[in-house]
């Protein structure tokens, strides 16, 4: 039986008087993929940022990879890869410089930096300032950053934004399902694409106004149920 990689019970997070998350609960097994759907402002990004240890919950219990958050967030260093709406990269640095900076923070060697630069297909532009690259190329660098330490947990907020189908296929070895059963990869993905999201998912979470409106196995969830979240 697989252990739980993510356990959330009664999570609440507010910004002033606005409840971004209200009573959200999750249980996700190691190696499984949860896809989170919901309209803009539903709380998807807030949920990922709490799981990444970037936001403190105001109520509830959060446990990620065996670490209670936020008090033991340091234990997740290098074990969680996060892709948000912002790439978390320095525009004046090159892709190689950006990745080497993050690699040192995570205790990763330069050989791995070169490996992921090749894996995302930008080794030919790795010495150019990030500000000179297209949004799609910057997204590839963001994926490389998140995958540097080959973390067992990936938190992905619309990871395929600005990417063409060929780029999406190229990035699958880094952020898709793990091909190595000895190194399971757990993923929480925020998506607005019912068909594409269901194809990735083992489980589905639907949020509306910070509350759980849908929670079910992907195999028993239809695209029409997800579409209903947006109405």
The whole-model pTM stands at: 0.95
For residues 43 and 206, give the distance between their C-alpha atoms in angstroms, rounded to a whole number: 10
Cis bond upstream, residue 117 (ω within 30): no
What residue spans define the domains of the chain?
4-79+153-228, 90-150
pLDDT at 51: 97
Residue 2 DSSP symbol: P
Q: Predicted confidence band at 77 (pLDDT cuts at 50, 70, 90)?
A: confident
- Report pLDDT digits (tens) over 95-110: 999 999 999 999 999 9
- The pair of structure tokens assigned to 90 is 């320095």
Mean pLDDT (the chain) is: 95
pLDDT at 1: 57
Residue 204: how many other CB atoms lie within 10 Å:
24
- Residue 11 predicted with pLDDT over 60: yes
Residue 144, CB-side half-sphere exposure with 13 Å CA sphere: 32
- Report pLDDT digits (tens) over 143-189: 999 999 999 999 999 999 999 999 999 999 999 999 888 899 999 99
For residues 117 and 140, give the distance between their C-alpha atoms in angstroms, rounded to a whole number: 9
Q: Which CATH number fits domain 4-79+153-228: 2.60.120.10, 3.40.50.970, 3.40.50.720, 3.40.50.300?
A: 3.40.50.300
Question: What string of DSSP letters covers 68-105?
Answer: EETTTGGGGTTTEEEE-SS----TTS-HHHHHHHHHHH
């Amino acid at each position: 039986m697989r252990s739980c990689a993510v356990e959330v019970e009664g999570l609440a997070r507010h910004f002033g008087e606005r409840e971004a998350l209200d009573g959200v609960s999750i249980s996700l097994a190691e190696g499984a993929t949860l896809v989170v759907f919901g309209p803009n402002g539903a709380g998807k990004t807030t949920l990922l940022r709490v799981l990444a240890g970037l936001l403190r919950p105001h109520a509830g219990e959060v446990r990620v990879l065996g670490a209670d958050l936020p008090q033991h967030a340091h234990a997740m260093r290098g074990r969680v890869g996060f892709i948000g709406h912002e790439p978390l990269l320095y525009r004046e640095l090159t892709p190689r410089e950006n990745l080497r900076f993050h690699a040192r923070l995570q205790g990763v060697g330069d050989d791995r930096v070169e490996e992921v630069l090749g894996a995302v297909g930008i080794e030919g532009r790795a010495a150019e300032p990030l500000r000179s690259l297209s949004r799609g190329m910057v997204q590839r660098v963001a994926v490389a950053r998140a995958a540097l330490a080959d973390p067992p947990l990936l938190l992905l907020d619309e990871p395929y934004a600005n990417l063409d189908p060929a780029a999406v296929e190229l990035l699958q070895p880094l952020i898709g399902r793990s091909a190595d059963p000895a190194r399971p990869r757990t993923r929480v993905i925020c998506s607005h694409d019912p068909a594409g999201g269901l194809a990735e998912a083992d489980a589905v979470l639907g949020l509306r106004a910070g509350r759980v409106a849908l929670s079910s196995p992907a195999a028993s969830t239809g695209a029409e149920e997800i579409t209903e979240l947006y109405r």
